[in-house]
Structure 1
Amino acid sequence: MFARPNSHHSQIAYVTNDLAAAMARLTADYGTPGFFEMSNIQPGEDPAGKPVLKIALALVGGVEVELIEPIGDTAPLFSDVLPGGDGLAIRFHHIAARIDGPLSNWDAHVASLDLTTHPVVFEGTIGDMLRYIYTDERATLGHYVEHVWMSPDLLAQMRGIVPAYPPLESPS
């Protein structure tokens, strides 16, 4: 699953019950250079039947750090690992492997997975810009694995808005 053509470890993700407090904690305690914040639900979009997530991203040493706050009871895949109570909780959730290159590389990657052994528990697309699946690896690894493909344009856009340390060099 990890050793696949055009695939590399790109992200480590945590879930939290308080996105603002978690960003402050990672900035103060671990030197994270700031975050880009977004929601998976776009303005005007009907969230019915979808998990509602607040997301914060930072790029540290070439690996993206993602914080996810599930909203309400819409996203048990993300909220189930959080303890109850009022205190700040930050819990490891998944790693991500990004598939680079054309969309056909994504199709080949997914076709190479044994989805009986590595069942898909969450998936989505945004047009021809983004594809992702989460496989459930909790029985063997203790966490989920996100497999994600972004179009070169979307990847460039994200690299332009997600804070990075060390800062990314601009192409000459």
Structure 2
Amino acid sequence: MLEGIHYQNAYICDNIEAGIDLLRGRGMTKEPVIIPVDQTVLTASGPKRQKGRICFIWIGELQYELIENEIDEVGIYANCLSNGGPLRFHHICFRVPDWEEFRSRVDAQDFPIAMERDVTREPEGGLKFLYLDARKVFGHYIEYTWMPEPMWQNIRAM
């Protein structure tokens, strides 16, 4: 399952500040904001907690997400093996225009859902995402997101 607009490559790093420093001078034009994340996601074995820090860096039309993991009850970030460098490639992300239409096709494809979250009913609102475990074919996860246009414009402006 590959659909939507590919806009992000994501990397796991042990030290997010060091990861940011590695992207300086490589097209980064704005100082990124580090965002603390402490969330509960849905998995096949029930709700799981994930805690860490993330930042988004735009270089041209591609967003680079850096993820510093603290608590990973899902195991989705901890299983990202070292590649010998400080940034370890983890997933790509696609934005889909219609979540319900997209979601209706997810169960018919062969990649299992690793985790999912619908934030539209929560105070911060607006975002839906899920990760498919596509490692058996692509060697990495695939994230899909949906968000309202104003939220997308805010993300683009980061």
Letter of the structure 1 residue corresponding to residue 93 of structure 2: A
* Residue 78 of structure 2: aligned partner: 79
Is the contact between residue 134 and residue 145 of structure 1 (CA under 8 Å) also seen in structure 2? yes
Give deviations 1:119-145, integer Å, cap 9, x for gaps.
100111212501000000100100000
Secondary structure of the residue aligned to 2:103 is helix
Q: Give 1:10's aligned residue.
A: 7
CA 1:40 to 1:73, structure 2 compared with 1: closer, same or farther past 3 Å? closer
User: Which residue of the partner structure matches residue 135 of structure 2?
Assistant: 138
1:158 Cα offset (Å): 2.0
Paired with 2:153 and 2:99, the residues of 1 have a C-alpha distance of 18
Question: 1: distance between equivalents of 2:17 and 2:86?
Answer: 12
1:39 Cα deviation after fit: 1.8
User: Does structure 2 conserve the Cα–Cα contact (< 8 Å) formed by 1:17 and 1:88?
Assistant: no
Note the alpha carbon deviations across 1:58-87, whole angstroms, 9 max, x for none: 11211111000101454521122244xxx9
TM-score (norm 1): 0.75
Q: Percent identity?
A: 27
Cα offset for 1:88?
Answer: 6.4
In 2, the alpha carbon distance for the partners of 1:130 and 1:73 equals 20
- Kept in 1: contact 2:27–2:60 (CA 8 A): no
Q: Alpha-carbon deviations, 1:33-67, whole Å to 9, x = none?
A: 3323212228xx9xx94110200101121111100
- Does the CA-based 8 Å contact 2:112-2:133 persist in structure 1? yes
Aligned counterparts of 1:116 and 1:74: Cα–Cα separation in 2: 25
Match of 1:111 in 2: 104
Question: What is the Cα-based RMSD across aligned positions, in Å?
Answer: 2.4
1:36 equivalent to 2:36? Answer no
Q: Distance in 2 between matches of 1:24 and 1:140?
A: 32
Q: Runs (4+) of structure 1 moved beyond 3 Å? A: 72-75
Paired letter, 2:27 = G
Higher Cα radius of gyration: 1
Please give the alpha-carbon distance, in whole angstroms, between the structure 2 residues aligned to 1:58 and 1:49.
27
> What count of residue pairs does the alignment treat as equivalent?
146
What is the CA distance between 1:32 and its match in structure 2? 2.3
Query: Partners in 2 of 1:115 and 1:148 — Cα distance?
Result: 18
Q: Which runs of 5+ in 1 are unaligned?
A: 163-172
Aligned to 1:11, what secondary structure does the other structure show?
A: strand
Structure 2 CA distance for partners of 1:49 and 1:133, relative to 1, 3 Å: closer
The answer to whether the Cα contact below 8 Å between 2:49 and 2:71 also exists between their aligned partners in 1 is: no
Pairing partner for 1:121 from 111, 114, 119: 114
Q: What's the counterpart of residue 43 of structure 2? A: none
Aligned counterpart, 1:66? 65
